[in-house]
Structure formats: structure tokens, C-alpha cells
Amino acid sequence: MANHKSSIKRIRSNDAKRVLNKYQHKTTRNAIRSLRSISDKSEASSLLPKVAAMIDKLAKRNIIHSNKASNLKSGLQLHINAL
């Protein structure tokens, strides 16, 4: 157990941040999954900027690595181009 006030506060804030990060990451993964399941090119193209913005936010907040974000966006663009 933590002995200092600051470490107790750090534990509380880490828990709150972990829950928020987990929610944002799961929401983005679900959006990616739904985008990949769309078979209509125009609908997928209109959804891509929203999903790319979600991925960029995760990378900006260091929830995922910036290279992984680029890789995901590239894969989504290739998927849409192939439709």
C-alpha cells in the first residue's frame, strides 16, 4: 500500500486515466471493425475521416504508438481503395 499522499493520489488518477484510455481505445477498435465490414465504397469513404481522427487522437495521447496509428490508417485506406 502507498505511504504518501501524493502516491495515493497518483494511484487514483492512474485508475481514472486507465478507464478513460480503455474506453477510447475500445471505441476506436469498434469503429475500425465496423468500417472494415462496410462493403459500400462511398459509405466507407465518408466514415474514414472520422475513424482516422479517432486513431490520431489515440496516438496523440500515447494510447497507441504513432507508427501503429499510421499503419492502421494506411490499411483502412487500402481496404477502401480495393472496394
Instruction: Look up the CATH number of the domain holding residue 39.
Output: 1.20.58.110
| Number of other CB atoms surrounding residue 67 within 10 Å | 9
pLDDT tens, 1-39?
778 999 999 999 999 999 999 999 999 999 999 999 999
The model's pTM is 0.85
d(CA 67, CA 70): 5
Q: What is the pLDDT of residue 66?
A: 96
Domain hosting 66: range is 5-82
d(CA 54, CA 80): 17
pLDDT category of residue 50 using cuts at 50, 70 and 90: very high
Phi, psi of 54, rounded to the nearest 5 degrees: -65, -40
Q: What is the pLDDT of residue 1?
A: 73
What is the tally of structural domains in the chain?
Answer: 1
- Cα separations in angstroms, 67 against 4, 38, 41: 37, 25, 26
